[in-house]
Amino acid sequence: MATYRVGIVGFGWVAGSHMINFNEMDSFEPVAIMSRRDLDPKQIKEQYGVDVTIYNDYDQFLADKEIDVVDICTPHPYHPEQAIKAAQAGKHLIIEKPIGIHYEDTVKMLHAVEKAGVKTSVCMEVRFMSVTLAMKSIMDQGLIGDLYFTECDYFHGIGPWYGQFEWNVKKNMGGSSLLTAGCHALDVLLYLADQEVEEVFTYSTMNPHEVYKPYEYDTTSVTLLKFKNSRLIGKCASVTDCMQPYVFNMNMVGSHGSIKNEKFFSKKIDGLLDWATLDVQLIDSGDVAHHPFKLVFSHFADCLDNDKEPLNNLKSAFETHRVIFAADKSAETGKPVLLSEFGY
């Protein structure tokens, strides 16, 4: 098992959580930070227990031969250019979600990564949560039969009390409710459904409460999905302006049973009369401290060691983002949008 030296780009809230997890793993060693701020390496050492080189110039950062993996933790719009340059420099990539704000930029990003032949891991960490692993195992064993309805919803009040509020309220920074946060729900829906989307239709609105007035885009959307498998339909709600505790809803309905969060029922199991309760960890917090980064990064290290493609690679994340870009276009035009408009 190799140890991969990591350079972190952007050092805010989520990067700090990445750093903590890297420090607890044998597979990764943080060696550098690229930041617009004048960070003090002594302070980083004191807080995290690691010696790092601080860079304020991205080209100099990428020229550092000590860096094997670039971990992009900057605000959303910066991801494509930074990822493209890192791929061209031969660095493997960890990329925070979303991968970008504009469809055209994400296409360029995907092409650059494929041309460079580097490995990528996008932080769609819900795929690695206990409840998701259990759902996938149950579905793979055919215990709910053929899926015909799938639903995942994201409810999180991202107001002035939230770390990224100040910059995320801008249209050119956050993009949309689905893009900036609800992407987690849509991504796990698509991952579990394992079917290609043909068409989407989206409505959007926003909470009229005054704390949400700075937002330049609708902070609530509902997206209906029609899959190429004509039997299967889906729904994803992204509500980032709700006045309620965090809720992440997952519901898979099949011909012989259903899974709803920690509840499971199957007609294929003799004697099962009511919902059974699965002993799983639910997705019950939006705090990055609760995200399963260690599982995400361990999977990435294994893929680097064995030259395998991660299940959350950029190609996979791009497929989710294609659906998001189509959904946002639908919300803007008030019409259904075909996914064929967002090819690559």
Residue 45 has pLDDT above 90, yes or no: yes
**Residues 18-43: what's their mean pLDDT?**
96
What integer pLDDT is reported at residue 285 of this predicted model? 82
Domains 4-124+294-311 and 126-287+319-342 share a fold: no
Using the 8-state DSSP alphabet, how is residue 295 labeled? H
Least confident of 55-59, 96-100, 196-200, 229-233: 229-233
Rounded-to-integer distance, Cα 303 and Cα 186, Å: 24
Average pLDDT of the chain to the nearest whole number: 96
φ, ψ dihedrals at 95, nearest 5°: -130, 125
What integer pLDDT is reported at residue 252 of this predicted model? 98
Residue 245 makes CB contacts below 8 A (sequence gap 6+) with none
Buried b (16+ CB within 10 A) or exposed e, 162-180: eebbeebbeeebbbbbbbb
What integer pLDDT is reported at residue 13 of this predicted model? 86
- Angle at Cα 317 formed by Cα 322 and Cα 309, nearest 5°? 140
255-265 tens-digit pLDDT: 999 999 999 99
Residue 229 has pLDDT above 90, yes or no: no
- Please report where in the chains the tokens 């989520």 appear, as a residue: 14
What integer pLDDT is reported at residue 264 of this predicted model? 98
C-alpha Rg value of the chain to the nearest Å: 20
Domain parsing of the chain, residue ranges? 4-124+294-311, 126-287+319-342
What integer pLDDT is reported at residue 288 of this predicted model? 62
What integer pLDDT is reported at residue 8 of this predicted model? 98
To the nearest 10°, report the CA torsion of 129, 324, 297, 48.
-100
Return the CATH fold of 4-124+294-311. Rossmann fold (3.40.50)
**Residues 94-115: what's their mean pLDDT?**
98
Residue 100 makes CB contacts below 8 A (sequence gap 6+) with 76, 77, 79, 80, 106, 109, 321
What integer pLDDT is reported at residue 51 of this predicted model? 96
Residue 247 has pLDDT above 90, yes or no: yes
**Residues 20-47: what's their mean pLDDT?**
95
137-167 tens-digit pLDDT: 999 999 999 999 999 999 999 999 988 899 9
Residue 245 has pLDDT above 80, yes or no: yes
Residue 94 has pLDDT above 90, yes or no: yes
Residue 251 has pLDDT above 70, yes or no: yes
For residue 260, the surrounding DSSP H or E stretch is strand 257-260
Residue 83 makes CB contacts below 8 A (sequence gap 6+) with 70, 72, 93, 95, 99, 109, 112, 113, 314
Q: Count CB neighbours of 130 within 10 A.
A: 16
Residue 103 structure tokens: 């469809």
Question: Residue 287: pLDDT band by 50, 70, 90 thresholds?
Answer: confident
Residue 343 has pLDDT above 90, yes or no: no
* Domain 126-287+319-342 architecture: 2-Layer Sandwich (3.30)
